[in-house]
Chain A
Amino acid sequence: MPALQELETAYSKAKKDRLFQKELKHLQETYIGRPTPLYFAKRLTKHLGGAKIYLKREDLAHTGAHKINNALGQALLAKKMGKKRLIAETGAGQHGVATATGAALVGLECEIYMGSEDIQRQSLNVFRMKLLGANVNEVNIGSRTLKDAINEALRDWTTNVRTTHYVMGTVFGPHPFPMMVRDFQSIIGREAKKQILRTEGRLPDYLIACVGGGSNAMGLFYEFLNDDVKMLGVEAGGRGIETGEHAARFAGGSMGVFQGCKSYLLQDNDGNVLGTHSVSAGLDYASIGPEHPYLRDMERVQYTYATDSEALSAFELLSETEGIIPALESAHAVAETVRLAPKLSKNKIIIVNLSGRGDKDVQQVARIKGIEL
């Protein structure tokens, strides 16, 4: 608790600190490469034959995903707090890479926790983290995926709390993490709003984003919450809800308390956390950031899911029609777009958050397709 209170105080100070904000903005522009483009996907739009589809190109942010927006913000904050060391969990490896990058940039030690299952399917990102000077710890207990990596990172944090800042990678965990991570990510929506107003002269009709912990979705949605814009969050349907092998918390979970917050959780009748499955490591997680159930219960955001095979088809479709290989996570948002766009008239506008690029996933996709590289 004292560590969380210390963090909350430091964060609310930094929020008002003009120097901190100036430095953050400078790095967002010169280091991350913001603003990221809002790209009109002409051929995909034509192919689907319905609404106009825009892609918010977070895949073009430095390190290849939206994760850097948050990791860089927290790295700066940690430095300001006088911490010597950053730790983080990672699923797909994107947040690990982003944290390792942030640590290298501001000059802090870095330790990443990653489930052994994920290390196998994301070996490229593991090597990237090492190149960036981080230590990657294999987590070999539990389901050996993201949730276990978070457990291990939290254990490290309790042990080394005096010197260490825990860079939570998503809008999850105890307060102030969900709020702080959302704030750092909300630049996505702020930019997208300006960009669509400039290009189209009006707000979009739909926003679509994939939801693991839910940070890229919160980042895009937040700025539009008070506008007349429909929003869709897409969870990982894995091998289908009926098989039990998925990570669709709304479709298959119930309220629980886990890793420091109260939210939807995939759990059994005794409150033990269930194993999850998704082709995408970044969505393979048993719970969801607490602001999402809030938005769902007030009927502001709708949640749906895409299965592994739908995501894989979308992965290929976007690659072929637009020359953009999306992360498997983002491919879930594209899959929902494939379903929705043809049902809408041509004057409707959809913005899809392309939260990350798919280079990290090509080996795994090849493996799934039975192709030897």
Chain B
Amino acid sequence: MSRIEDTFRRLKAENKKAFIPYIMAGDPNLEKTMEYVLMLSKCGADIIELGVPFSDPLADGPTIQRAAERALKAGVTLKKIIPFVKKLRTHTQIPIVLMTYYNPVFKYGERLFIKDAVDAGIDGVIVPDMPPEEADSLIKLSRESDLSTIFLVAPTSTKERIKKVVPSCSGFVYYVSITGITGSKLSLDETFKVHINTVKKSTDKPVAVGFGVSTPDDAKRISQIADGVIVGSAIVKKFYEHPSGAKKFIHELREAI
């Protein structure tokens, strides 16, 4: 059983929901990223989503785009992030999921990437610009190596679409709470609840919700319907603008979930 599955099972037994913070690897440098991961883990994060900077982050809003620019400026790339996680593993066993666009993986070589990622102790991968239809080899190679592949389900996903995406997911299903990009404004209406329930009913896999969760209040409301809450832009922004207030914010999020 993978570390991700273990985590969700443990949480379920304790009647708790997963808190999944996202940070950009290398923003502003990898030393700081190490510090942030350990701090997040200490503050009660259950899984860390680690962003891989990319020059053209299509699915991301301005906050994460800028974070990626800063990380790239610091020279941080996939080739540095994999050994970084290996080093991180001497300090923490918290599950780590990489969020990376496909081209860096393609350039690295899919097979080699999966091997190196697993060797380094990376638990899963989210590739937002890779639909399951195009991911046969990525899924197959990942399954063979016990790397979770997490795909995105959107509010626009039809029942047929959900049937296609959910079986391709391992670890958990990533439910995108809005039609749009990361860091957009969240609206939790009735349609949203009905739709996410359709997804949950279709699978035993945990469903985590992300995109647009920015306040402890958002997080609280999401945690009432989902198995996990992903907070990205709001945390990235906090670390960048008010690093001294970050710890308090993380605690508030944890409390809310």
Contact = CB atoms under 8 A, between A and B. Distances in A.
Interface in A152-174: 154-155, 158-162
Given A256-B106, A270-B79, A271-B106, A147 B56 contact: yes
A255 B103 CA distance: 10
Given A1-B133, A256-B103, 5 more contacts: A142-B65, A147-B56, A151-B56, A256-B106, A269-B107
Contacts of B131: 1
Interface stretch (B14-22, B42-50, B177-185, B234-242): B177-185
Contacts of A160: 179
Given A158-B180, A159-B180, A270-B78, A2 B156 contact: yes
Contact of A273 (B55, B59, B77): B55
A148 B55 CA distance: 10
Given A259-B58, A270-B78, A271-B78, A265 B103 contact: yes
Interface in B147-188: 156-158, 161, 178-181, 184
Interface string A169-211: 0000000000000000000000000000000000000000000
Nearest to B57: A151
Given A159-B180, A256-B107, A272 B55 contact: yes
Interface string B183-226: 01000000000000000000000000000000000000000000
Contact of A155 (B79, B133, B158, B180): B180
A256 B107 CA distance: 7
A137 to B, nearest CB: 13
Nearest to B161: A2
Interface in A124-159: 141-142, 147-148, 151, 154-155, 158-159
B56 A258 contact: yes
A267 B103 contact: yes
A344 interface: no
B56 A159 contact: no
A10 interface: no
A50 to B, nearest CB: 43
Interface in B104-153: 104-108, 129, 131, 133
Contact of B72 (A161, A162, A267, A272): A272
A3 interface: yes
Of B61, B69, B104, B161, most buried by chain A (CB within 10 Å of CB) is B104
Given A2-B161, A270-B77, A270-B79, A159 B107 contact: no
Interface residues of B, number: 34
Interface SS, A side: mixed
A3 B155 CA distance: 12
A218 B38 CA distance: 53
A370 interface: no
A272 B106 contact: no
A269 B58 CA distance: 20
B62 interface: yes
A258 B179 CA distance: 21
Contact of B56 (A1, A2, A255, A273): A273
Nearest to A143: B55
Contacts of B104: 270-272
Nearest to B131: A1
A159 B186 CA distance: 12
B77 A159 contact: no
A53 B232 CA distance: 58
Contact of B156 (A3, A257, A258): A3
B129 A260 contact: yes
B8 interface: no
A356 B111 CA distance: 45
Interface in B53-75: 54-59, 61-62, 65-66, 69, 72
B56 A271 contact: no
Contacts of B69: 141-142
A257 B180 contact: no
Q: 3 closest pairs, A vs B, by CB?
A: A271-B107, A159-B180, A271-B104
Contacts of A272: 54-55, 72, 77, 103-104
26 contacts: A2-B161, A3-B156, A141-B66, A142-B69, A147-B56, A151-B57, A154-B58, A155-B59, A155-B180, A158-B179, A159-B180, A161-B156, A161-B179, A257-B102, A257-B103, A265-B103, A267-B103, A267-B107, A270-B107, A271-B78, A271-B104, A271-B106, A271-B107, A272-B55, A272-B103, A273-B56
Contact of B55 (A142, A155, A260): A142
Given A159-B180, A270-B78, A270-B79, A151 B58 contact: yes
